[in-house]
Amino acid sequence: MAGLRAAFRRLGALSGAAALGLATYGAHGAQFPDAYGKELFEKANKHHFSHSLALLAVPHCRKPLWAGLLLVSGTTLFCTSFYYQALSGDPSIQPLAPVGGSLLFLGWLALAL
């Protein structure tokens, strides 16, 4: 179990580093199709950062496997769908966002257990 806890701590740190890299790219290099794309990218990045921090708390909860898997999968589905739409203008994978958001909600509840 100790290895699992360390893995989620590392994953949270790597996710935070990725969020920082994407924030830098969004601020200095990205070409957005419109103003809405930039706004959507910033929202996705905000959620990416906050849920990276939540992953750092996973080792301290009683159900780290559940909390960690829910937070990782939720962050991946939620943020990726918005990052993709923001950069491409293509909303085709946006239906993944509510699924990801639901998984994030459950991940936060799992942290509380």
> Where are the domains positioned within the chain?
2-112
Please give the C-alpha separations between residue 4 and each of 19, 49, 95, in angstroms, as whole numbers.
22, 21, 31
Which pLDDT belongs to residue 46? 98
Q: Are 105 and 71 in contact (CB under 8 A)?
A: no
Q: What is the DSSP string of 26-54?
A: HHHT---SSHHHHHHHHHHHHHHHHHHHH
Q: Are 97 and 81 in contact (CB under 8 A)?
A: yes
10 is written with which tokens? 């590392």
Q: What is the pLDDT of residues 8-57, one digit of tens each?
A: 999 999 999 999 999 999 999 999 999 999 999 999 999 999 999 999 99
What's this model's pTM, rounded to 2 decimal places? 0.93
